[in-house]
Amino acid sequence: MKDFFYAIQDLFDTLLLAPFDELRALEVENWFGANIVSWIFMSIGLVAFVYWMLQLKSFSDNNEEDKSISSHSYL
């Protein structure tokens, strides 16, 4: 059973997390290159945010949104 857990450890250490070790070593030479994963995620988030805002604006311009006031009776 102990060998099974050592195999999982070896899989993660040598194969799955090796790219992140390379990025950590790259940080000494080039900060922007080492943080490329973060830059990619930030750019995807920015594109998604702009797309969402443009969709909201198009729905608002077409008056497709129900803006009627309906609140609870206790308010």
Indicate whether 37 belongs to any domain. Answer: yes
- Give the residue ranges of DSSP H helices in 12-69: 18-26, 31-34, 36-61
Indicate whether 67 belongs to any domain: no
For the chain, how long is the longest CA-to-CA vector? 64
Question: What pLDDT is attached to residue 41?
Answer: 95
Average pLDDT value for residue range 9-38: 86
Supply the pTM of this predicted model: 0.57
The answer to whether residue 71 is domain-embedded is no
CB 33 within 8 A of CB 26: yes
How many domains does one find in the chain? 1
Q: Is 73 inside any structural domain?
A: no
Whether 48 maps to a domain, the answer reads: yes
> Which structural domain range is residue 55 located in?
2-61
Domain assignment present for residue 70? The answer is: no
For all residues of the chain together, what is the average pLDDT?
87
pLDDT higher than threshold 70 for residue 73: no
